[in-house]
C-alpha cells in the first residue's frame, strides 16, 4: 500500500468512523493522515488489516502495558481525568517515534479482532427469525442497544436453541492469557467505557462455558466442519464486521460453498461487510434461496435500525 492510499484511509477513518464516537481517535487519525513518518510506521501493518484500527490499537496496547509517557494523560480508561484530545497529537507522535520498533512488531504480528459483545443486540433478533423455541436460562450479562426507526424486530423471550457451536478464526485468543486479554482490551476505543465493562464481564464468565474454537481459515475449513453437523440440524453461518478483511476471491468462494450446501441442507447465512454495511440473511430452505436485508447496524453495537424483510426493499409502513 502506498502512503497516499494509507493517508486516505486514516482521513476516512477520522471523518466517518470516529464521528460521534471518539474525539481522541478522530483527532489522532486526522493528524496521522498528514504525517509522513507515522504513515511510514503504519505501512508495516499486515496485509488485509484495517490499518487505522491496528495502528491505534498497538499504541493503546503499549500504554495499557504500562509504558511511561506523557501520552497516557490523554487516554480515558488509563487516567481518570484525561487531558483534552485536541492537544494530544504531539505526545502521540513522540510516543510512536520513541517506541517505533515495538509498534512495528505489533503491526506485523497482531490482527484486528474487535470482539464487540454489543453486536449480539442485533444478532439476537436475527436468530429469532431463524429458530422458534428454546429452553435456556437468561444470561448474567445485559446487552443494550438503541433501536432506530419505526420498525421493531420480533424477539423470542428466551434464546433460540443451539445444538452445537463452532468458532473459527485465524488467531484464537485465550482470555486467560494476559497478552491476548490485553490485546482485545486494547482494540476497544479509549472513550468507550461501557464497551470495556461489557468485555470484562464477558471475560469473567467465559471459564464457565465450554467453547470449541478452531484456528484456521474459515472459508477453507467450512466444507469439512459442516460434515460434523448432524444431517437433521439447520446450519447457521454468521460473521459480522470481519468480511472487510477477507479477499474478494475468498468472499466469492464462501458464497459458492454456502450456495452448494443449500441445495441439500437447511442453511442460513447471516453477514455484513461483504458488499455493503447492511446486515443480510440468506436462507436456503428445501433447496430454495431467500434473501433479506434485515438491518443497518452500528459497528460497536450501540444501535441498529431494523428494516427490510424483502430483497433490496424496506418493509412498507
In a domain, 166, yes or no: yes
Whether residue 285 sits in one domain with residue 160: yes
- The predicted pLDDT at position 316 comes to 33
Per-residue pLDDT reduced to its tens digit, 250-260: 999 999 999 99
First to last CA, the chain: 46
- 8 A C-beta contact, residue 13 and residue 51: no
In tens, the pLDDT along 43-77 reads 999 999 999 999 999 999 999 999 999 999 999 99
| Same domain assignment for residues 66 and 128 | no
Looking at the structure, tell me whether residues 88 and 131 fall in a common domain. Answer: no
8 and 98 within one domain: yes
53 and 165 share a domain?
no
Same domain, yes or no: 144 and 290? yes
Instruction: Inform me whether the pLDDT recorded for 315 exceeds 60.
Output: no
pLDDT the model gives residue 4: 82
Q: Is the same domain home to 150 and 273?
A: yes
Number of domains the chain contains: 2
Mean pLDDT of all residues belonging to the chain:
91
**Structure confidence at residue 159 (pLDDT):** 79
Average pLDDT for residues 131-155, to the nearest whole number? 71
Query: For residue 207, is it within any domain?
Result: no
pLDDT of residue 310: 45
150 and 28 share a domain?
no
CB count, 10 Å around CB of 136?
10
Question: Is the confidence at residue 216, as pLDDT, over 60?
Answer: yes
Does one domain contain both 102 and 135?
Answer: no
Instruction: Give the model's pLDDT for residue 50.
Output: 96
| Mean pLDDT of the region 1-20 | 92
* 148/129: higher pLDDT: 148
pLDDT value of residue 3:
77
The boundaries of the domain holding residue 278 are 117-170+216-306
The fraction of the chain above a pLDDT of 70, given in percent, is 94
Q: Do 165 and 26 reside in the same domain of the chain?
A: no
220-277 pLDDT tens trace: 999 999 999 988 899 999 999 999 999 999 999 999 999 999 999 999 999 999 999 9
- Residues 87-120 pLDDT 10s: 999 999 999 999 999 999 999 999 999 888 899 9
Are both 139 and 261 inside the same structural domain? yes
Determine the average pLDDT of the residues in 78-91.
Answer: 97
Model pLDDT for residues 151-207, shown as the tens digit of each residue:
888 888 887 788 899 999 999 999 999 999 999 999 999 999 999 999 999 999 988
And the C-alpha cell for 12? 476516512
Let me know whether 61 and 34 are in one domain.
yes
The C-alpha R_g of the chain, in whole angstroms, comes to 21
Amino acid at each position: 500500500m502506498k502512503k497516499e492510499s494509507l493517508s486516505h484511509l486514516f482521513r476516512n477513518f477520522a471523518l466517518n468512523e470516529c464521528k460521534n464516537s471518539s474525539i481522541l481517535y478522530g483527532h489522532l487519525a486526522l493528524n496521522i493522515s498528514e504525517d509522513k513518518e507515522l504513515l511510514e510506521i503504519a505501512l508495516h501493518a499486515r496485509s488485509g488489516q484495517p490499518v487505522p484500527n491496528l495502528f491505534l490499537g498497538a499504541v493503546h496496547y503499549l500504554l495499557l502495558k504500562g509504558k511511561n509517557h506523557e501520552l497516557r494523560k490523554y487516554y480515558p480508561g488509563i487516567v481518570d481525568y484525561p487531558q483534552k484530545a485536541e492537544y494530544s497529537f504531539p505526545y502521540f507522535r513522540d510516543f510512536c517515534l520513541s517506541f517505533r520498533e515495538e509498534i512495528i512488531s505489533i503491526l506485523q504480528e497482531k490482527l484486528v479482532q474487535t470482539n464487540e459483545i454489543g453486536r449480539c443486540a442485533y444478532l439476537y433478533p436475527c436468530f429469532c427469525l431463524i429458530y422458534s423455541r428454546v429452553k435456556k436460562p437468561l444470561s448474567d450479562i445485559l446487552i443494550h442497544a438503541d433501536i432506530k426507526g419505526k420498525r421493531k424486530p420480533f424477539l423470542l423471550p428466551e434464546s433460540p436453541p443451539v445444538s452445537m457451536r463452532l468458532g473459527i478464526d485465524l488467531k484464537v485468543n485465550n482470555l486467560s492469557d494476559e497478552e491476548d486479554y490485553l490485546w482485545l482490551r486494547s482494540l476497544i476505543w479509549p472513550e468507550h467505557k461501557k464497551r470495556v465493562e461489557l468485555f470484562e464481564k464477558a471475560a469473567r464468565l467465559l471459564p464457565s462455558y465450554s467453547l470449541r474454537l478452531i484456528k484456521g481459515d474459515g472459508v477453507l475449513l467450512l466444507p469439512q466442519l459442516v460434515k460434523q453437523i448432524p444431517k437433521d440440524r439447520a446450519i447457521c453461518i454468521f460473521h459480522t464486521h470481519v468480511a472487510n478483511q477477507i479477499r474478494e476471491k475468498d468472499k466469492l468462494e464462501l458464497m459458492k460453498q454456502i450456495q452448494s450446501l443449500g441445495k441439500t441442507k437447511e442453511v442460513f447465512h447471516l453477514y455484513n461487510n461483504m458488499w455493503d454495511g447492511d446486515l443480510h440473511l440468506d436462507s436456503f430452505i428445501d433447496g430454495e434461496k431467500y434473501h433479506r436485508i434485515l438491518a443497518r447496524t452500528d459497528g460497536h453495537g450501540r444501535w441498529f435500525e431494523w428494516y427490510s424483510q424483502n430483497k433490496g426493499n424496506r418493509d412498507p409502513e
